[in-house]
Structure 1
């Protein structure tokens, strides 16, 4: 059993002992800690209310009831927006001027997982400082439940995904009419979660002929829900089979998006951010931000455009913090997460899709296989190794650091080792699982594979 506390909230596998999995007791305890933390943060308020959304997982419908009861028992009102996306909850917090919000989701993790993503009153993930306070309050149980006279109220608001989409389409940078004239034919893999609702609605507004795959939000994921190439073989086959212009796949809470080329090739989750940043920089020059684990193709693009590039530790809150600091025009992560601050400071697959389709429509329906050739051609490997002991991970990183001390290194998030010819290895502990992640990149597929195998061999020898 697993329970992971990260910069976006908590997530874990279902079942097992309290504190070792995602159980009803853990849900109540951490939600109570969150509400108490927000009450202390905004202590001058007399009445509080929060937004609640959920993804399509089977367990999300069940656990939603625990959350509602806990909110009300803590004396705060809750607006339940039902089936939603993580960015939609952020939009709802902003629109309703709520004190915060909770999305019931385990993001890209398999269906035996679930979790809570938590927002502040700006519709953004909590700061690291707020999370430390939240976890402390939850673990020490420094919270109080309300008397029957002060129980919170429950309200329902429907169609928030629709409101989210309308907000996206109102942005001047999204050229709806140009996309409509392109008459695109697109295959959508909604992983049987809320992407199966949200993405087709957005595409229909944009005049797209939509072919759905796994778009019923019943939560029975038919493949591993992380939107990476090895999990998307069926949509990669479907796109050229029916002569579609492209394919779109999202994760279960719709904050990551990847694209499939017209010939069935994977456009690459790393190139989602690169291509969208290219379009945004055509409209407005300014700094761009991504993470240490993201492809250097974005850095190359920034050099070409003459704008500053910044990298951060992995995690949405780190990217957003740097974006605010440098007034970035776009940012995100190489996993397909796009942050466009003119909409909201948070990853959002739907704004990513709208920006991307505007770009290709304005380029006269350029085939995605051709679009990708506009950018630096890198090859990346992404591996992971499970470790049961945090001490072992710390020891491993110390030994690797000594072994490669002659190389340029970055220690802001694990260890990133730089080599000649734009090659690098990044080794870090995952924010969301008890594993270490190992990313390598090179201009040669053979070299990227070699670096990956070499470092994994060295790690396993330790």
Structure 2
């Protein structure tokens, strides 16, 4: 049976399996039943990004929840981290974000959160998937008198704005800073500029005119070169790019240079550490983070823990080890004092706090260590995941042995039909050779 859930919920081309109205409705039925608690009317918070297909998925999902007796609170276009916050604020039983994150407009997805605002474990996803695909899913339908209700929460944006602003030191403000913010024509297009303006910045906005089709199109965190050009053009102090659901961020300095996600994590970690606000002097990162980050943090007596790729795995390790900072090189940064998932705006405010308090230019602050050379390759496949082939696994193991001085990481993408390859080492020619060898080999199994 094909697994519906990937690294971050269910995702695919809109109006094609599994992202159809039928699956969305069954998703609502299954999730609503799985999390239903006796003794009170159960509630779910549903948000979405700005994709046209949100108008297809949202009503189908709503119908599914109502049909099993769950009340629906609709909040419209809102960032993924806002769902987590609103669940706790409204004492809801679960929440769903309709988004395909950084993917193009023609994709969509469903991200599910429990009553604590946490993303689901693999085990929970397996149980919900079993219910979705069950032939007798209609047995969960409630009688007419017990149907759920739906309503819109008009003040949801204001609640999130105040929540995010509370993550910024109340003694600081952004007066005197010129900031370019790229909303990726996504879920925070109307929020990020407002938050920065309310904190005192001069704000220049791009990627804030969504039309249903232009989310992540030549803008946002997947295309930071657009932001980079605007920062240089407007002589801004810093640039901030979000992705479609605003759970990740890319920072650009005053010279238009793109700052790596590992440098952003390092900056925030040291900022918290110096103020004795970094729990256990420990940071959680994934296998994709550069090894130079570990060495930099270790030189400041900060330890790192590595997890599988995916911010839910990062947050799970943070909970287990009582850490309040974790992140991915891709720009997901979790500050658990404020959020249970990556929040691009909250992370950006931490960098802005450092910028304000230091009195220095971002270009002087950001280059805190040299990254080890990395080569990343994405290999497309059309049918089955080639990494499931035992023969390929054996051959890859031999390659690993022959390049034992380098760090090699190979995985299937959780959101697309891609095999992602990352090779890291201190000699660029060797890691390039290793990456090419691996790509050639895997490609033979993709036809």
Which residue is 2:397 aligned to?
Answer: 402
1:382 aligns with 2:379: no
Structure-2 residue corresponding to 1:86: 80
Matches of 1:126 and 1:54 in 2, distance apart?
18
Alignment-derived partner of residue 245 in structure 2 = 253
Shift of 1:227: 4.9
Find the partner of 1:323 among 314, 318, 323: 318
1:276 corresponds, among 265, 268, 272, to 268
Cα 1:71–1:391 change in 2 (3 A) is closer
Q: Is the 8 A contact 1:424 1:442 kept in 2?
A: yes
Partner residue in 2 for 1:185: 178
Tell me if 1:433 matches 2:416. Answer: yes
How far 1:109 moved relative to its partner?
1.1
Flag structure 2 segments of 5+ consecutive residues without an equivalent: none
**Partner secondary structure for residue 361 of structure 1:** helix
Cα 1:45–1:378 shift into 2, 3 Å = farther
Task: Indicate the residue corresponding to 2:9 in structure 1.
Answer: 9
Structure 1-normalised TM-score?
0.88
Aligned positions of 1:56-455 closer than 5 A: 56-140=50-134, 141-142=136-137, 143-171=139-167, 174-181=168-175, 183-221=176-214, 224=217, 227=220, 231-283=223-275, 284-285=277-278, 286-364=281-359, 366-390=360-384, 392-395=386-389, 397-404=392-399, 406=401, 419-420=404-405, 423-443=406-426, 448-455=431-438
2:53 & 2:35 partners in 1: Cα distance?
A: 26
SS in 1 for 2:437: helix
Task: Check the 8 A contact 2:262/2:289 in 1, yes or no.
Answer: yes
Structure 2 distance, partners of 1:443, 1:372, is 21
Q: Does 1:35 align with 2:28?
A: no
Alignment root-mean-square deviation, CA: 2.3
For the 8 Å contact 2:283–2:325, the answer to whether it is kept is yes
1:35 Cα deviation after fit: 1.2
CA distance in 2, matches of 1:242, 1:445: 35
Alpha-carbon distance between aligned partners in 2 of 1:350 and 1:82, rounded to the nearest angstrom: 18
CA contact (8 A) 2:182 2:219 kept: no
> 1:280, 1:329 within 8 Å by CA — same for their partners in 2?
no
Decide whether aligned partners of structure 1 residues 445 and 223 sit closer, same or farther in structure 2, where only a CA change above 3 A counts: farther
The within-5 A match list for 1:16-27 is 16=16, 20-27=17-24
Deviation at 1:45, TM superposition (A): 3.6
Residues 120, 126 of structure 1: 8 Å contact kept: yes
How has the CA–CA distance of structure 1 residues 452 and 206 changed in structure 2, closer, same or farther, with 3 Å as cutoff? Answer: farther
Contact 2:334 2:340 (8 Å CA) reproduced: yes
Q: TM-score, normalised by structure 2?
A: 0.91
How far apart are residue 304 of structure 1 and its match?
1.6
Give yes or no for contact 2:180–2:205 (8 Å, CA) kept in 1: yes
SS at match of 1:353: helix
Q: Distance in 1 between matches of 2:218 and 2:271?
A: 28
Note if contact 1:176-1:206 (Cα within 8 Å) is conserved in structure 2.
no
**SS in structure 1 at match of 2:346:** helix
2:242/2:248 contact within 8 Å kept: yes
The Cα shift of 1:449 comes to 4.0
Q: Give the secondary-structure state (helix, strand or coil) at the position aligned to 2:290.
A: coil
Distance 1:159 1:315 in 2: 31
Distance in 2 between residues matched to 1:46 and 1:315, nearest whole Å: 33
Structure 1 runs (4+) deviating above 6 angstroms are none
Q: Find the aligned partners of 1:247 and 1:449 in 2 and give their Cα distance.
A: 31
Partners of 1:226 and 1:457 lie apart in 2 by 32
User: Cα distance, 1:179 vs. partner?
Assistant: 3.4
